[in-house]
């Protein structure tokens, strides 16, 4: 691939014309079920009602069975696309990898109700007066996607050989910086769906330029130079408290900053809080 940018599954990759357009503009790949399979175990739109899509990604027994069938026959790499609409996304990701999948793609859209029309009292979006929860995407889901990808990446690092498995980060990518964040968490490719629908296929040139600019700033010459570099800085709440107490102990020695939240005065919360943290 010339760059890590992949058109995510959805309208921007549905027919020959739009796929050709994507490659002409410089996208690295299009999810279109050709040289590899990305299996959508995550669609929230009507599929779960029929026990498909997200219903499979939310049920590890079903997922194991279906991944087993696919990997028994597939002669190309298989990625499993995960739903965020589940308590612990690492559970289905682990099952997919153990069942022969080569990669994980995450996330699909987040089940949401967009709002209620306060005049008509009907939910939105509205079809003949009725609605149903639907998949939320774009910028608002980016932090949630980062959280899920971080959890999957940590699990993959701890339990699987990093060289043989890949992770594709998806959710709210609109800038090279958004993509860099996914790569810093361990993704080797980054997918864009809604961004392409809103900004058009040429956005890949800006994405590449912004990603290269980030790489130049840090003197990185390849994706591998920084892939997963931020992962080691995630720890537990308990460990954060321990680190904070240690930093406060050290500052106490030089009499600087608040020593605990008992000393909050109510004025200047930001400054007072900053005096308690170590970054």
- Regarding 108 and contact with ligand FMN (CB under 6 A), the answer is yes
Catalytic residues: 43
Residue in this structure with the two tokens 């996914």, named with its chain if needed: 182
Q: Is the peptide bond before 149 cis (omega within 30 degrees of 0)?
A: no
- Regarding 148 and contact with ligand FMN (CB under 6 A), the answer is no
Q: Do 187 and 167 meet the contact criterion of CB atoms below 8 Å apart? A: yes
Task: Give backbone dihedrals phi and psi of 204, rounded to 5 degrees, phi first.
Answer: -60, -30
Q: Do 183 and 190 meet the contact criterion of CB atoms below 8 Å apart? A: yes
- Regarding 44 and contact with ligand FMN (CB under 6 A), the answer is no
With residues binned 3-state (H G I as helix, E B as strand, rest as coil), the percentages for the chain, rounded to 5, are 45, 15, 40
Contacting ligand FMN (CB under 6 A), which of 3, 5, 10, 215? 10
Task: Give backbone dihedrals phi and psi of 142, rounded to 5 degrees, phi first.
Answer: -55, -50
- Regarding 168 and contact with ligand FMN (CB under 6 A), the answer is no
Contacting ligand FMN (CB under 6 A), which of 81, 94, 148, 227? 81
What DSSP letter does each residue of 181-239 carry, written as one string?
HHHHTT-SEEEESHHHHHH-TTHHHHHHHHHHHHHHHHT--SGGGTTTTTGGG---HHH
User: Closer CB to ligand FMN, residue 60 or residue 144?
Assistant: 144
- Regarding 192 and contact with ligand FMN (CB under 6 A), the answer is yes
- Pair type for strands 189-192 and 5-7: parallel
- Regarding 208 and contact with ligand FMN (CB under 6 A), the answer is no
User: Closer CB to ligand FMN, residue 95 or residue 248?
Assistant: 95
- The DSSP output letter for 8 is P
User: Closer CB to ligand FMN, residue 85 or residue 108?
Assistant: 108
- Regarding 173 and contact with ligand FMN (CB under 6 A), the answer is yes
Q: In this chain, which stretch among 85-93, 113-121, 167-175, 177-185 interacts with ligand FMN, using CB under 6 A?
A: 167-175
Contacting ligand FMN (CB under 6 A), which of 99, 137, 166, 188? 137
Contacting ligand FMN (CB under 6 A), which of 71, 85, 90, 109? 109
Q: Which residues bind ligand FMN (CB under 6 A)?
A: 8-11, 40, 43, 81, 108-109, 137-138, 141, 170-173, 192-195
């Amino acid at each position: 691939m010339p760059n890590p940018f992949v058109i995510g599954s959805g309208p921007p990759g549905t027919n020959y014309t739009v796929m050709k357009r994507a490659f002409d503009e410089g996208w690295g790949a299009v999810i279109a079920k050709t040289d590899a399979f990305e299996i959508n175990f995550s669609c929230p739109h009507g599929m779960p009602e029929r026990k498909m899509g997200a219903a499979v990604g939310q049920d590890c027994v079903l997922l194991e069975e279906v991944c087993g069938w696919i990997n028994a026959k597939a002669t190309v790499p298989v990625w499993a696309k995960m739903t965020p609409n589940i308590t612990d996304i690492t559970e289905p990701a682990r099952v997919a990898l153990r069942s022969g999948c080569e990669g994980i793609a995450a996330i699909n859209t987040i089940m949401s109700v967009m709002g209620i029309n306060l005049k008509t009292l009907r939910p939105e979006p509205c079809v003949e007066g009725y609605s149903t929860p639907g998949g939320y995407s774009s910028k608002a889901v980016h932090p949630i996607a980062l959280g899920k990808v971080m959890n999957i990446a940590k699990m993959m690092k701890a339990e699987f050989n990093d060289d043989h498995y890949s992770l594709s980060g998806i959710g709210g990518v609109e800038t090279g910086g958004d993509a860099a964040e996914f790569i810093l968490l361990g993704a080797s490719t980054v997918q864009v769906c809604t961004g392409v629908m809103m900004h058009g296929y040429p956005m890949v040139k800006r994405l590449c330029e912004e990603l290269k600019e980030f790489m130049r700033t840090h003197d990185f010459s390849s994706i591998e130079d920084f892939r997963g570099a931020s992962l080691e800085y995630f720890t537990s709440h308990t460990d954060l408290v321990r680190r904070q107490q240690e930093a406060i102990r050290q500052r106490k020695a030089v009499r600087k900053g608040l020593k605990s939240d008992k000393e909050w005065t109510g004025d200047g919360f930001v400054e007072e809080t900053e005096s308690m943290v170590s970054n």
